Chains A and B, each alone.
Chain A
């Protein structure tokens, strides 16, 4: 329908919905894009929303505020927040080291950063579990210190840290690379120490990109499932994440509870997407168009 309407608007009497162009194929490609987007993403998600709405307000509220559900959501969110914070700190450090310093195997390190994008989450999950289990390569040295990572909420944080690692690095890296060195030189001529220059000049300039990376890592981590379920221990109210609870409800054929929780998570996802766009818009406004 949209495609059929467009030529009429382009003729000029109505406000233009698209700028005229000599290139062909707009109607066809946009039409297909919208169709495919609707079929694969929008209609299925709409079905979820419709199903959740069909539950009625009181039923939905009861299911959504069920203590086990809330505990699972809280764990998913807090663990994701902790992991994204770890990644914000170390992501900036890694981006800094990659952009500013030269060291052996720099290119290999650069390539390895993207491993969480390429390695299936289940593989990451069993590997991290084996690594941080009390008898694992790393876990055996932590156990005597009373530090248990696998099968605790800490394990959730560890898995989510793995999953979210590339986001901060990859959003900060290009901004840091484009940062003009003369700004740092200016700070030095004005008497700032290197530490003052980094903390008052460089990091504030990177802040929008750090926040974007943080939000992306957070959004990804809140919904993460595969890498977490192996290492979490999955004890209800303690180390049970929200996506796992959806799966459990489904296995119990409790579609209503699964739907309510899924709708909540979808709402959180929308909120994150909105936040990310907001951060970028504010960043652009504060720092000018070339931010």
Chain B
């Protein structure tokens, strides 16, 4: 109707060319609402709430570790780290993770190959079993090894008769650490390799590659970033494990104390600056892990994580 009464050209104020830039837009913006966004005030409020929560729960504790560690000055800090017991704890931690990480790396690759490249009965049950250590309390994980290898255990007495100590010694600590870090590498690899399918490997084999060559030349390069990512997480957990190791270690200072256990001992002795000094080393390890992980994600984001939902 309006069309007939008013010719196009005289559709007055609106036909005026819009004033350039913001002054023309702004009053209208106030009424028109984007259908999928929030008002700026709401947006700022939500961001502030999220950041405040993260600040109190994550950031402040992290900052506090370094502040407390350096409270007594750099001299005290370095002295705490140069303490022979601290050095022994660092050595033991490195040794244990040098055992646990490669062991779980080999397992992760094997499990991922079998699960991702083949179809067989009971596959999803197997994946659930691999996830199991994630939901078992670390203390329970430590306890099971005490029950088997301890002085009251099934194998303990026989082994100690043959001069092998497991509990309250390095083998027990390594076993407990392997248990709690068991799923890390496998869990990173399985979804990615499942998504990549078997086409590349089949092509390699059809071109005459052996199984090992196909794995080394095709599979590994495809998953190398996810593999590194899994190893990083596995290593961080292996070095930082507390509960499981605490149960099997026996807390023999300078012998079976790992870094986290050493932190506990110092803390319970009220040697706070020293406790936080050792803790700061572990925190640096965590930060390095996060940094590497973020770099991996930013540079190789597409290939690192399987896209969900499809």
Chains A and B directly touch (beta carbon < 8 Å): yes
B-binding residues in A (CB < 8 A): 6, 17-19, 21-26, 28-30, 32-33, 36-37, 40-42, 44-45, 47-48, 51, 90, 93-94, 96-98, 100-101, 103, 107, 109-124, 126-128, 130-131, 137-138, 158, 161-162, 165, 174-175, 178, 181, 184-185, 188-189, 194, 219-220, 222-226, 230, 242-244, 246-247, 250, 255, 258-259, 262, 265-266, 269-270, 272-273, 277, 290-291
Q: Mark B122-146, 1 if CB is under 8 A from A, else 0.
A: 0000101111111111111101111
Distance A90 CA – B55 CA, assembled complex (angstroms): 12
Contact B242 A120 (CB under 8 A): yes
Distance A157 CA – B129 CA, assembled complex (angstroms): 29
A-binding residues in B (CB < 8 A): 33, 35-38, 43, 46-47, 49-51, 53-54, 56-62, 64-65, 68, 107, 110-111, 113-115, 117-121, 126, 128-141, 143-148, 152, 154, 175, 178-179, 182, 198, 201-202, 205-206, 210-211, 214-215, 233, 236-237, 239-243, 246-247, 259-261, 263-264, 267, 272, 275-276, 279, 282-283, 285-287, 289-291, 293-294, 298, 305, 307-310
Known pairs A107-B298, A118-B289; list 12 more (Cβ under 8 Å): A22-B205, A25-B215, A44-B141, A117-B237, A120-B279, A122-B242, A122-B263, A130-B68, A137-B60, A219-B135, A223-B139, A255-B152
Q: Which residues of B contact A185 (CB under 8 A)?
A: 35-36
Contact B144 A48 (CB under 8 A): yes
Q: Which residues of B contact A130 (CB under 8 A)?
A: 64, 68, 272
Distance A176 CA – B298 CA, assembled complex (angstroms): 19
Q: How far is the CB of B219 from chain A (nearest CB, A)?
A: 10
Known contacts A33-B107, A118-B233, A119-B240: does B119 contact A223 (CB below 8 Å)? Answer: no
Q: Which residues of B contact A6 (CB under 8 A)?
A: 120
Q: Which residues of B contact A100 (CB under 8 A)?
A: 37
Distance A123 CA – B294 CA, assembled complex (angstroms): 22
Distance A188 CA – B287 CA, assembled complex (angstroms): 43
Partner of A175, one of B117, B143, B154, B309: B309
B202 nearest in chain A by CB position: A22
Partner of B129, one of A32, A41, A120: A41
Q: How far is the CB of A240 from chain B (nearest CB, A)?
A: 13
Contact B310 A290 (CB under 8 A): yes
Q: How far is the CB of A244 from chain B (nearest CB, A)?
A: 8
Contact B144 A162 (CB under 8 A): no
A219 nearest in chain B by CB position: B135
Q: Which residues of A contact B114 (CB under 8 A)?
A: 25-26, 29-30, 33
Chain B, interface SS category: helix
Chain A, interface SS category: helix
Q: Which residues of B contact A225 (CB under 8 A)?
A: 137-139, 242-243, 246
A186 nearest in chain B by CB position: B35
Q: Which residues of A contact B202 (CB under 8 A)?
A: 22-23
B155 nearest in chain A by CB position: A47
Q: Which residues of B contact A128 (CB under 8 A)?
A: 61
Distance A266 CA – B37 CA, assembled complex (angstroms): 45
A110 nearest in chain B by CB position: B294
Q: Which residues of A contact B132 (CB under 8 A)?
A: 41, 45, 269, 273
Known contacts A130-B68, A225-B243, A258-B143: does B131 contact A115 (CB below 8 Å)? Answer: no
Q: Which of B134, B179, B275 has the most CB of A within 10 A?
A: B134
Partner of B279, one of A47, A123, A194: A123
Q: Which residues of B contact A175 (CB under 8 A)?
A: 308-309
Distance A290 CA – B137 CA, assembled complex (angstroms): 33
Partner of A115, one of B47, B62, B201: B62
Distance A259 CA – B239 CA, assembled complex (angstroms): 27
B33 nearest in chain A by CB position: A194
Q: Which residues of A contact B49 (CB under 8 A)?
A: 93
Contact B240 A44 (CB under 8 A): no
Known contacts A94-B53, A181-B36, A184-B35: does B110 contact A269 (CB below 8 Å)? Answer: no
Q: How far is the CB of B167 from chain A (nearest CB, A)?
A: 11
Q: Which residues of B contact A265 (CB under 8 A)?
A: 136-137, 140
Distance A202 CA – B206 CA, assembled complex (angstroms): 47
Q: How far is the CB of A282 from chain B (nearest CB, A)?
A: 16
Q: How far is the CB of B209 from chain A (nearest CB, A)?
A: 11
Contact A162 B53 (CB under 8 A): no
Q: Which residues of A contact B113 (CB under 8 A)?
A: 25, 29
What are 21 A-B contacts defined by CB distance under 8 Å?
A: A6-B120, A19-B118, A23-B205, A37-B129, A47-B148, A110-B294, A111-B291, A115-B286, A117-B233, A117-B236, A118-B286, A119-B283, A120-B240, A123-B240, A127-B68, A131-B64, A161-B57, A223-B139, A225-B243, A250-B146, A269-B136
